[in-house]
Amino acid sequence: MRQYELVDRVRRYNPHTDEDLLNRAYVYAMRAHGQQKRASGDPYFTHPLEVAAILTELRLDDATIVAAVLHDTIEDTGATRAEIDHLFGPEIGSLVDGLTKLKKLDLVSKRAAQAENFRKLLLAISEDVRVLLVKLADRLHNMRTLHYVSPEKRARIAEETLDIYAPLAGRMGMQNLRDELENLSFKYLMPEAFAMVSTRLEDLRETNRELIKTIEKELTEELALRGIEAEVRGRQKQPYSVWSKMERKSLAFEQLSDIFGFRVVVGDTDECYRVIGVVHTKWPMVPGRFKDYISTPKQNDYRSIHTTVVGPGRQRVELQVRTRDMHDIACFGIAAHALYKDGHEAPAPTLSHESNAYSWLKRTIDMLAEGSSPEEFLEHTRLELFHDQVFCFTPKGRLIALPRGATPIDFAYAVHTNVGNSAVGAKINGRLAPLLAPLVNGDEVEIVRAEGQTPPAAWESIAVTGKARAAIRRATRDAVRAQYAGLGRQIVLRAFERAGKKFSEEKLRPALPRLARSSIEDVLAAVGRGEMFSGDVVKAVYPEFKEERKAPAPDRSDPGWFRMQKAQGVEFKSPGAAGAAVPIRGLQGDLPVSFAPNGAVPGDRIVGIMTPGEGITVYPIQSPALAAFDDQPERWLDVRWDVEDSQALFPARIIVAAINEPGSLGAVATLVGEQGANIDDVTFNKKSPDFREMILDIQVFDLKHLNDILSRLRVLPMVHSVERVIG
């Protein structure tokens, strides 16, 4: 496309276009990309021009067209944001920056990089929706030329398009663009299925060509007799839409009854309902096939009336009835709000006050503030993108749009996070129903609440919406944190009592910097988890305090201490070994004692579970396995450690995620040995070609010893993460 052609395209719908701005952008991008080539061998500069051409079809403003021409300059050339701002203004600079990937992001996994790039893109979209329009046009042109890249890259890009960008276009109401993205992805991911469906559709189109013309003519004439001027056009489902319905409902091609439909476009909303009256009077309606999306629009702003009748020739005819404005939004979605109409300037690009779809996007982005990882955010966004919708009501008549398959749990969190967190039951249409019951269109849902309730962690796997899952995960974390903080408060109070000092939050608050914590609750939770010694809290508040002990405890994290003890012939035994007793108080008689599968160490709060005929199993109090014994209180035993002067080692399990390179296991094993711990067993779980998980069963003296080992492992250059397994 030549320079003058781009200007002509924009001038057709915007006579007041800034031609100088468009020309300067054309020349700047052409020089910046220089001799760069695409995979096809074409000059790279042809790509941003084609992206701009796609956006001229949407009749967008000058700034968006210029951003499209410049969208790869910062990422792929020596251009900088400051230079773009200086030459073209901060508005265009912001758009281009929002489209620039995180090229220098130091992330090992491609999935994390993809998720982080998507997060940055959505954040930029939340500032200016035109970023999304350019990005979708960019993806569309890349998909149109995808046959030039390698098969591996082709499959990855097509899958990403089908997973993220096509559904995102759909949720923004841009159905035409979504259809093309889906069909191109379908073509590259499943070429045989695409060819089969496309051939069948073409044959069907030829067979029914005359029938379609007959129905169009008869319907137009019938409406004209009633004084309704309407544009009636037949339409055919897209290949991917046909294929996905066949897969979803396990249907053969011949069983599909809605491959052909008709769109009726009229002047105003009143005429939409008049058309339905005429059609339903003339031809019998198919029960259960009437949907009014004018009175209850879809979340992507789509508005139409759908109905199916048994029409001419006893053919089932699906009709969509809408106005011209509704048709623009159905085809172009959020872009329709920014169209140039009748030569007038487009409205401002901030669409939150006009577009439900954009409001949904803003709410989705709000989940970024909940502390989720990029991968969690991508998962939640996919959940939101993929589902069709059901419409339910609160008892006061408020409409709540939810994904298909949603439950009262999702409904409760859609009303308000506090409603979801306190939900204990539900009434659907006035009747008590399980919180797991799937909702259907038109349900009136009342949530039964109980203050002080915490949502069970299991709800996270049941919830359908990303908002509900994020809120449940956050509430679960907060509940566990509160439990640790409560335990830590008791431990700290006792420590102050032993020291003969008075504890108060007012005195502890100034000491927070010395404890490297930002709040009192952080300190108490750290003590409760065993990450901080209660005596350190006393010393932080009363620096002059010195704890007196009969004999200083050996620093078993010091490798030198361990080697010295070995040299002196000291033997370290594991609990349960011959001649070694498990040092725990509160056990009954001579019952055999064992530890939970993932171990327990001194410093853990512990509980004993008695199994008749087998003995007693010792669990850490935070072990999720204890939930299985909640309804058997008679089996619980109150036990405590008795480890003074003990030289026994205790079992613990850790997971080390390390870079898959020679020497990783050796480095980990060497460090564990140097810290005076034994390794009982090692298993491997290969997570990816780059990373490998090592599951180590080790033996340590106590919780401090274990935490020291975990801390030292985390600073090894090849180690990505280290976690203790509690089970």
Helix pair angle (90-98, 62-70), 10° resolution? 50
- Residues 165 and 137: their CA atoms lie apart, in Å, by 10
- Residues 183 and 159: their CA atoms lie apart, in Å, by 12
Structure tokens at 314: 């006893």
Give the CA distances from residue 540 to residues 496, 501, 503, 519, 552, in Å, rounded to whole numbers and listed in that order. Answer: 12, 12, 12, 14, 20
Question: Pairing between strand 231-236 and 260-266?
Answer: antiparallel
Helix (H) or strand (E) holding 448: strand 445-449
DSSP secondary structure string for all residues of 519-574: SHHHHHHHHHHTSS-HHHHHHHH-TT-----SSPPP-TT-HHHHHHHHHTTPPPB-
Residue with tokens 């009969």, as numbered in its chain: 550
Burial status of residue 50 (CB atoms within 10 A of its CB: 0-12, 13-18, 19 or more): buried
- Residues 655 and 657: their CA atoms lie apart, in Å, by 7
Q: Is 76 a catalytic residue?
A: yes
| Cβ contact 73:33 at 8 Å | yes
Structure tokens at 467: 């908002």
Q: What one-letter code names the amino acid at 56?
A: T
The catalytically annotated residue of 57, 75, 258, 521 is: 75
* Structural Rg of the chain based on CA atoms: 33
Give the CA distances from residue 213 to residues 60, 217, 275, 419, in Å, rounded to whole numbers and listed in that order. Answer: 34, 6, 19, 54
Cα torsion 227, 231, 236, 240: sign = negative
DSSP secondary structure string for all residues of 132-188: HHHHHHHHHHHHHTGGGS-HHHHHHHHHHIIIIIHHHHHHTT-HHHHHHHHHHHHHH
| Cβ contact 305:273 at 8 Å | yes
- Residues 332 and 284: their CA atoms lie apart, in Å, by 32
The catalytically annotated residue of 18, 19, 76, 328 is: 76
Burial status of residue 439 (CB atoms within 10 A of its CB: 0-12, 13-18, 19 or more): buried
Q: Is 97 a catalytic residue?
A: no
- Residues 217 and 313: their CA atoms lie apart, in Å, by 13
Burial status of residue 260 (CB atoms within 10 A of its CB: 0-12, 13-18, 19 or more): buried
Of 671, 679, 685, the closest CA to residue 718 belongs to 671
| Cβ contact 323:267 at 8 Å | yes
The answer for residues whose C-beta is within 8 angstroms of residue 150's C-beta and 6 or more apart is none
| Cβ contact 539:493 at 8 Å | no
- Residues 67 and 29: their CA atoms lie apart, in Å, by 10
Give the CA distances from residue 669 to residues 451, 568, 666, 678, 709, in Å, rounded to whole numbers and listed in that order. Answer: 49, 24, 5, 9, 11
Of 494, 518, 498, 497, the closest CA to residue 508 belongs to 518
The answer for residues whose C-beta is within 8 angstroms of residue 578's C-beta and 6 or more apart is none
- Residues 293 and 303: their CA atoms lie apart, in Å, by 5
Helix (H) or strand (E) holding 402: strand 399-403
Catalytic residue numbers, as ranges = 75-76
